[in-house]
Structure 1
Amino acid sequence: MKKNFTILCCLFGMLSQYVYSQQLPPIFDKSFESQKDSRVRQYLTPRRIVWTSDKTSTSVVDAQNLLKKGTGQADLVHKNFCKLISNEQEKPGILFDFGKEIQGGIQLVTDQPSNQKPIHVRIRFGESVSEAMSDIDTIQGATNDHAMRDFVVEVPWLGVMQVGNSGFRFARIDLIDPNRELQLKEVRAIFEYRDIPYLGSFKSNDERLNQIWNTGAYTVHLNMQEYLWDGIKRDRLVWVGDMHPEVMTINTVFGKNEVVAKSLDQARDITPLPGWMNGISAYSMWWVLIHRDLYRNQGDLEYLRKQQKYLVALLDLLIAKTKDNKENLDGTRFLDWPSSENPKGIHAGLHAMMVMTLEAGAELCTILDEPAQATKCKATATQLKLYVPEVNGSKQAAALLALAGLIPAEQANTEVLAKGDCENFSTFYGYYMLQAKAKAKDYTGALNCIRNYWGGMLDMGATTFWEDFDLAWTKNAAPIDELVPDGKDDIHGDFGAYCYKNLRHSLCHGWASGPTSWLTEHVLGVSVLEPGCKTIRIQPNLGDLTWAEGTYPTPLGIVKIRHEKQADGSVKSTIDAPKGVKVLR
């Protein structure tokens, strides 16, 4: 009897184990298709309370408790919380500043008031104080486009609510149910980002330039989500033209990262030829230029070969879009928004881009053993160079024409780029304007534009660089981290144009990161001569700086660089390169 009982127990145990194994959650089932998020999550405590609706501490009580570091866990201690108390007329609210722009959401931890029913709260995210204080309307342009940043949710009694997926620095929370008490134990921002090291660096005797380099790097880092976005509030899309400055920054700061290939391949796969990427002919050209610059830095021939079929066909399409030695591109004809009302300038810029793209295409086709296509690209580029279009006052066009070798860089700089200093710069094409100034050897002028134009955003409270910017906006404006006083302009809500009017304007746009890669390339003097950085040249251009130092990531390791200006004006350089990297000076 005892033996039979033992056998039954064993059989029951085996059966239970079998049943349990069949009921495992799908995440443990290898046949269940899943994807791992490449990002991590971090929780941020508010740095300060910018505003509350209550000046008497009767409807907003003990708000300072929310500035204490939390745990994300509700408890039964019933201490150190904030109370929001509403009635029929008053609906209390608090505005928080998390100290820097982030991508993510918000976590609310509640305590235990006597009424246990869920409570409705309104949450508003903002890249500026004014955006977080705004309503969705047609007056200042606040929207929920691309990412919900203004919405109502229910929060539980004695629990945790996590919600939101947008770009923001500020968050406003309002209790909207009448005659209720909301007990908030914690309010924390949920910061989602790729946990990757900053391998590249830049420092100099000018702290403003150092901050600009770091801000550009951080701006792109935020946009390195599952794909490489243009902006973390808007548009959150893979815009291929926007990617070029971003990829140059990634090469400079992070080295090789899978988000670049993932995004380039997505653009390719959803754009069968003869379509243009994002519907814009220039953006298909940027795709070619990105691949050229990516291969120079990373030397990944296996990845480049995966582009071969599409690349060759795209180059054929571009060659077919020439007529009488001129570009004859269709699709949306676009360089950047500030130049969009200058068709002659757009034509000049597209013509220059066609030359640059076909020359890059010839370089790539030579690497890919496509000699006939390389010859065709070179011949077409040569023919296009016989015609030089009119700049028509466009700094964008002048920069591209200089970079394409169609006009002397010194002429482009003197006659167009240097006029009015940073007037008519744009955050996207400002990078190419800086590149053209460097080609003209105007390093001091370029450094001053970086200090004044990109530094002007920092003066307005920016922790990331913006979709567009005009120094004229700052003349009577309050910074983004303050409530706008009477008589002052709202730098976020009162300006902008095209797709970025008023509060719809993105204050974190990766295409604005140009100074980061520019400072490394031209001040530290790093240029790649052989794919994979096997040979690099280091020729510093300190301009008015007395010293500069930094690091540059290569597939073979990190190059360490320091330059010091001597009393006689010469520059002493100390360079430490990893094995396999040849350095020319």
Structure 2
Amino acid sequence: MSIKELQAKGLANDPRTRAYVEPVRLVWSTANGDTSEVVNPEGLLAGNGGQVTKEAPNACLLRHKGEAPAILLDFGTELHGGIRIAVVEGRFPEPKRSVRIRVRLGESAMEAMSELGGETNATNDHVSRDSIIDVGLLGGAEFGTTGFRFARLDLLDEGEIELQSVQAVFVYRDIEYKGSFRCSDPLLDRIWETGAYTVHLNMQDYLWDGIKRDRMVWTGDMHPEVATICAVFGEHVIVPQSMDFKRDRSPLPMFMDMPTYSIWWLLVQHDWYMQHGNEAYLQEQRDYITGLLRELIGKVEPDGTINVYRPFLDWPASSNPAGVTAGVHALFVLGMQAGARLCRLFGEVETAGLCEGLEGRLRKRIPHHAGSKQAAALQALAGLMDPAAANREVIAPDAPSGYSTFYGYYMLRARAEAGDIAGSLDSIRAFWGGMLELGATTFWEDFDIAWMEGAARIDELTPPGKIDVHGSYGGYCYKGYRHSLCHGWASGPTAWLSEYVLGIQVVEPGFRKVRIRPNLADLNWAEGTYPTPRGLIHVRHERGADGSIRTDYTVPPGVTVVE
């Protein structure tokens, strides 16, 4: 069949780019002895390329004389993709055309060293990251599609090979970083960039939650991810494609995984419209949105009790059922607020009235937050609790203890609405900066500030007396090495810094009107860009010697700045 015939049948083109990344560091290799030997492992750092040649002076020799020789390589940053291995030649007791190599990929050095199963819960869930592959002599092989930074290779066949190169096959979307953020604190710059990169890696076929696990479209996870996409990349097709994917696979009366995640889908639709003003796309959602709102309204009892089969905020909140009840209540209020606005736009007056009526009923019976920072944050954002009280009584005490990677974004937003920018910045530095201090290059599925005590960095083999933070912690569905170290829902500070420190907030759909309100707290200056459908907004805030803030900005034609 010719390429034209294949094209006529319909080819699904991959929107992603492939690139090859060389390792930057040899982390470990087996010791040389009578049974195995590794010679010149540093040669793999020389950039030998993937095209096999007999002239490979920098090749690494792996010699198996009874035990498997092994190496552990570091590619320097979290990547999505696989491994390309090039072997020059080999010598074995009997003729061979290929050699068996065990490949283990890991987001941490210790995960790449682990065995499947056991107390540390290393898995091949969702994708295979630990497998035995056949690599041809005077040839090569590509293996794997996962999230990783480290690769361990073990030669399993007795004999020896000359290993020319081990490269990461980096699969990503080649898109422009239109938004930017810089300030007088380099740590905050790095946190902004790390959040942006975390979401960028998860922009694969669709917008995923994680590149190792789950590699799925979760609409709850998408809300902070989409906020980050808006601040960094602007309008991108992956968002409506992912939203439509979940809509089409969740026909009403079915919810998207769980009722609260259907509410998050609704909130993404509202926010996406406010950011980009694409009314044609929003109108395509009209029937589904109105039907979804009626399904949600039907889950609330006359007294305001919400009766859903799986109330869920995030995993760390699950240990506080009363807090979950309060948070879900607030999430329903936020959903009804957004739903009423969208229905008014659609001309769906009756459904808008139902939303407003339910919101009024929900405001008459407000569950106590039960000390849950997640619940208090949502209550503050929904107008069910004074933001200053929520911050003072629940969110700020012992912060960032009790923070979570997903709902940390809403805790930061609630604190900002209370005027506590300084406290928010301190929490960002400690919590998200804590992951960076432990060697992270992307933000994690979960993190607890208490994990830092006695923890080794994830880019080193855990020394005696230290704790393997990746293999030792985690709960629910992410225990041990199953824990994702690149999870898009953890990117909240990127969106937050653009929204609250640069102070760029959309007022009318499509940025017809924007508010620019600086909040420097302890910073001397901050500057950056924000993408809009009409072009980039450029902002710089600088503190003068008298403490006053000077703001300079440029906005594209069609954007009006309001006080």
* Larger displacement relative to structure 2 (110-119 or 456-465): 110-119
Q: Which residue of 2 aligns with 1:138?
A: 118
The one-letter amino acid paired with 2:271 is: D
SS in 1 for 2:7: coil
Q: Is residue 2:74 matched to residue 1:97? A: yes
Q: Which residue of 1 aligns with 2:144?
A: 164
Q: Is residue 2:295 matched to residue 1:317? A: yes
Gaps of 5+ in 2: none
Q: Which residue of 2 aligns with 1:510?
A: 488
* Larger displacement relative to structure 2 (366-375 or 103-112): 366-375
Given that residues 301 and 307 in structure 2 are in contact (C-alpha distance below 8 angstroms), is that contact kept between their aligned partners in structure 1? Answer: no
SS in 1 for 2:436: helix
Equivalent of residue 364 in structure 2, options 381, 386, 399 = 386
Given that residues 327 and 350 in structure 1 are in contact (C-alpha distance below 8 angstroms), is that contact kept between their aligned partners in structure 2? Answer: no
| Residue 36 of structure 1: how far off its partner (Å) | 0.4
Q: Which residue of 2 aligns with 1:106?
A: 83
Equivalent of residue 218 in structure 1, options 184, 197, 208 = 197
Could you state the TM-score of these two structures normalised by the residue count of structure 2? 0.97
SS in 2 for 1:500: coil
Given that residues 147 and 211 in structure 2 are in contact (C-alpha distance below 8 angstroms), is that contact kept between their aligned partners in structure 1? Answer: yes
| Residue 116 of structure 1: how far off its partner (Å) | 4.1
Q: Which residue of 1 aligns with 2:231?
A: 252
Q: Which residue of 2 aligns with 1:228?
A: 207
Q: Which residue of 1 aligns with 2:460?
A: 482
| Residue 209 of structure 1: how far off its partner (Å) | 0.4
Q: Aligned in 2, Cα 1:443/1:325: closer, same or farther, shift over 3 Å?
A: farther
Residue correspondence of structure 1 range 191-202 to structure 2 within 5 A: 191-202=170-181
Given that residues 327 and 354 in structure 1 are in contact (C-alpha distance below 8 angstroms), is that contact kept between their aligned partners in structure 2? Answer: no
Deviations 1:509-560 (A, max 9, x none): 0000000000000000010011111111100111111100000000111111
| Residue 487 of structure 1: how far off its partner (Å) | 1.3
Could you state the TM-score of these two structures normalised by the residue count of structure 1? 0.94
SS in 2 for 1:51: strand
Residue correspondence of structure 1 range 405-416 to structure 2 within 5 A: 405-416=383-394
Partner Cα separation in structure 2 for residue 166 and residue 111 of structure 1: 26
Partner Cα separation in structure 2 for residue 325 and residue 204 of structure 1: 49
| Residue 328 of structure 1: how far off its partner (Å) | 1.6
Q: Which residue of 1 aligns with 2:101?
A: 121
Q: Is residue 2:21 matched to residue 1:44? A: yes
| Residue 471 of structure 1: how far off its partner (Å) | 1.1
Partner Cα separation in structure 2 for residue 207 and residue 78 of structure 1: 42
SS in 2 for 1:492: helix
Gaps of 5+ in 1: 1-22
Partner Cα separation in structure 1 for residue 160 and residue 281 of structure 2: 58
| Residue 339 of structure 1: how far off its partner (Å) | 0.8
| Residue 75 of structure 1: how far off its partner (Å) | 1.6
| Residue 70 of structure 1: how far off its partner (Å) | 3.0
| Residue 325 of structure 1: how far off its partner (Å) | 4.1
| Residue 78 of structure 1: how far off its partner (Å) | 4.3
Partner Cα separation in structure 2 for residue 407 and residue 163 of structure 1: 52
| Residue 369 of structure 1: how far off its partner (Å) | 1.8
Deviations 1:207-251 (A, max 9, x none): 010000000000000000011110000111111101000000000
Residue correspondence of structure 1 range 174-323 to structure 2 within 5 A: 174-178=154-158, 180-278=159-257, 280-323=258-301
| Residue 31 of structure 1: how far off its partner (Å) | 2.0
SS in 1 for 2:461: coil
Partner Cα separation in structure 2 for residue 30 and residue 472 of structure 1: 55
Partner Cα separation in structure 2 for residue 99 and residue 30 of structure 1: 39
Q: Aligned in 2, Cα 1:161/1:194: closer, same or farther, shift over 3 Å?
A: same
Q: Which residue of 2 aligns with 1:77?
A: 55
Given that residues 281 and 329 in structure 1 are in contact (C-alpha distance below 8 angstroms), is that contact kept between their aligned partners in structure 2? Answer: no
The one-letter amino acid paired with 1:314 is: L
Q: Is residue 2:10 matched to residue 1:33? A: yes
Partner Cα separation in structure 2 for residue 327 and residue 313 of structure 1: 21
The one-letter amino acid paired with 1:230 is: D
The one-letter amino acid paired with 1:349 is: G
Equivalent of residue 173 in structure 1, options 149, 153, 162 = 153
The one-letter amino acid paired with 1:48 is: R
Q: Which residue of 2 aligns with 1:519?
A: 497
Q: Which residue of 2 aligns with 1:544?
A: 522
Given that residues 41 and 193 in structure 1 are in contact (C-alpha distance below 8 angstroms), is that contact kept between their aligned partners in structure 2? Answer: yes
Q: Which residue of 2 aligns with 1:436?
A: 414
Q: Which residue of 2 aligns with 1:396?
A: 374
SS in 2 for 1:476: coil
Higher Cα radius of gyration: 1
| Residue 71 of structure 1: how far off its partner (Å) | 2.8
Q: Which residue of 2 aligns with 1:455?
A: 433
| Residue 326 of structure 1: how far off its partner (Å) | 1.9
| Residue 65 of structure 1: how far off its partner (Å) | 1.1
Identity over aligned pairs, percent: 50
How many equivalent pairs are there? 559
SS in 2 for 1:271: coil
SS in 1 for 2:204: coil
Q: Is residue 2:135 matched to residue 1:155? A: yes
Partner Cα separation in structure 2 for residue 30 and residue 117 of structure 1: 36
SS in 1 for 2:154: strand
Q: Which residue of 1 aligns with 2:31?
A: 54
Which aligned runs of 4 or more in structure 1 are off by greater than 3 angstroms? 27-30, 55-58
Given that residues 276 and 331 in structure 1 are in contact (C-alpha distance below 8 angstroms), is that contact kept between their aligned partners in structure 2? Answer: no
SS in 2 for 1:243: helix
